[in-house]
């Protein structure tokens, strides 16, 4: 059981060495440390991860670091929403023991040249649409895990392919950390919470729930063709998702697919669980979403 602690503002720490020695001191006392990596501009999705982490560990460390390595376009990095005062305010309402906020100029040593790449799952869909993105994510998460040395790594289901890439990396590289995944938190109209939503104009925001509508159309299509071969059901579901996104004039579809949640390849015949994934570009932001679906006794 996680112990109750009074809520006082968590210290914000920029130095990797300071953060590491604080986390090591907690672990030396037998306290389990949970880690929630973020790029800031926090929302209820992040807070729900923090709350879950706080229930399952003794200490929670959250990082706020807009990682330049995972942005393929400079403009995307420059316009990524940032508001540390807003983040500090939101964190007052949850149990966080330390915030690690390294500085980009010093977190990456001058001349840094190492990348962690995850083949296969890291190359499909988001990996193909955003070349270099997952290498940037895997590299920064490797660095963060080396600094924090947590018992638990907490990730959001909203970024399902990131979860699959990092699970693969943790397994392949023997990180001594358990990966935990919190469910997607949605706005009342179904839009998955994301820091990028802040960039949407009012018209784009009104059309953005179309991603969730598309996922539900995909799920309904799969359910309606329960006895058909899986490949045929997948095609019909993908068609249904594409048709739904086409109803939003400001959305340009990148992909709408049924995949295996671990590999992001097509689910094998006989698979019992699948993941519907969708990505669409609005003029001001690119959005992604996903929905776990049972495949029943799919052939």
CA atoms of 191 and 216, how far apart (whole Å):
12
Residue 127 binds to ligand PAF (criterion: CB under 6 A): no
Kindly state the smallest distance separating residue 144's Cβ from ligand PAF, in Å: 7
Q: Are 263 and 121 in contact (CB under 8 A)?
A: yes
Judged by CB, which is closer to ligand PAF: 182, or 218?
182
CA atoms of 192 and 159, how far apart (whole Å):
10
Judged by CB, which is closer to ligand PAF: 19, or 140?
140
Backbone angles phi, psi at 160, to 5 degrees: -65, -35
Residue 39 binds to ligand PAF (criterion: CB under 6 A): yes
CA atoms of 37 and 42, how far apart (whole Å):
11
Kindly state the smallest distance separating residue 224's Cβ from ligand PAF, in Å: 34
169-200: buried (b, 16+ CB within 10 Å) or exposed (e) per residue? bbeeeebebeebbbebbbbeeebbbbbbbebb
Q: Are 276 and 241 in contact (CB under 8 A)?
A: yes
CA atoms of 104 and 183, how far apart (whole Å):
29
Residue 121 binds to ligand PAF (criterion: CB under 6 A): no
CA atoms of 279 and 286, how far apart (whole Å):
7
Residue 37 binds to ligand PAF (criterion: CB under 6 A): yes
Q: Which residue is nearest to ligand PAF (CB)?
A: 37
Q: Please name the residues in contact with 4: beta carbons below 8 A apart, sequence gap of 6 or more.
A: none
Judged by CB, which is closer to ligand PAF: 159, or 289?
159
- Listed ranges 31-39, 53-61, 176-184, 246-254: which one lies at the site for ligand PAF (CB under 6 A): 31-39
Residue 184 binds to ligand PAF (criterion: CB under 6 A): no
Residue 141 binds to ligand PAF (criterion: CB under 6 A): yes
- Structural tokens at position 277: 């994934």
CA atoms of 196 and 43, how far apart (whole Å):
11
Task: Return the residue of 42, 98, 140, 211 that touches ligand PAF, per CB under 6 A.
Answer: 140
Q: Which residues pair with 181 in a beta bridge?
A: 155
Kindly state the smallest distance separating residue 298's Cβ from ligand PAF, in Å: 31
Judged by CB, which is closer to ligand PAF: 95, or 130?
130
Q: Are 210 and 248 in contact (CB under 8 A)?
A: yes
Judged by CB, which is closer to ligand PAF: 26, or 154?
154
Residue 159 binds to ligand PAF (criterion: CB under 6 A): yes
Alpha helices in 150-197 (DSSP H): 160-172
**What is the footprint of ligand PAF within residues 45-104 (CB under 6 A)?**
67, 70
CA atoms of 197 and 268, how far apart (whole Å):
34
Kindly state the smallest distance separating residue 44's Cβ from ligand PAF, in Å: 15
Residue 285 binds to ligand PAF (criterion: CB under 6 A): no
- Structural tokens at position 54: 């706080």
- Listed ranges 32-40, 100-108, 238-246, 269-277: which one lies at the site for ligand PAF (CB under 6 A): 32-40
Residue 126 binds to ligand PAF (criterion: CB under 6 A): no
Kindly state the smallest distance separating residue 281's Cβ from ligand PAF, in Å: 19
The verdict on whether 46 is a catalytic residue reads yes
Which residues are designated catalytic? 46
Residues that bind ligand PAF (CB under 6 A): 37-39, 67, 70, 137, 140-141, 159, 162
């Amino acid at each position: 059981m996680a112990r109750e602690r009074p809520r006082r503002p968590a210290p914000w720490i920029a130095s990797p060495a300071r953060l590491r020695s604080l986390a090591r001191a907690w672990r030396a006392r037998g306290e389990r440390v949970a880690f929630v990596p973020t790029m800031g501009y926090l929302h209820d999705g992040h807070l729900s991860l923090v709350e879950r982490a706080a229930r399952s560990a003794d200490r929670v460390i959250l990082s706020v670091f807009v990682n330049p390595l995972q942005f393929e376009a400079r403009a995307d990095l420059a316009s990524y929403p940032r508001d540390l005062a807003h983040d500090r305010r939101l964190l007052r309402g949850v149990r966080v023991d330390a915030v690690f906020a390294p500085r980009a100029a010093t977190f990456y040593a001058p001349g840094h040249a190492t990348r962690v790449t995850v083949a296969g799952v890291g190359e499909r869909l988001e990996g193909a649409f955003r070349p270099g993105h997952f290498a940037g994510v895997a590299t920064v998460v490797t660095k963060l895990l080396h600094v924090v040395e947590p018992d638990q790594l907490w990730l959001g289901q909203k970024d399902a392919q990131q979860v699959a890439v990092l699970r693969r990396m943790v397994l392949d590289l023997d990180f001594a950390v358990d990966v935990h995944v919190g469910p997607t938190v949605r706005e009342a109209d179904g839009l998955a919470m994301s820091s990028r939503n802040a960039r949407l104009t009012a018209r784009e925001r009104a059309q953005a729930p179309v991603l969730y509508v598309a996922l539900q159309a995909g799920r309904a299509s799969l359910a309606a063709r329960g006895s058909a071969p899986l490949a045929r059901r997948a095609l019909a579901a993908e068609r249904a998702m594409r048709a739904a996104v086409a109803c939003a004039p400001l959305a340009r579809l990148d992909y709408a697919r049924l995949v295996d949640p671990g590999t992001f390849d097509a689910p094998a015949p006989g698979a019992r669980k699948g993941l519907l994934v969708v990505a669409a570009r609005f003029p001001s932001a690119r959005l992604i979403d996903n929905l776990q679906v049972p495949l029943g006794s799919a052939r």
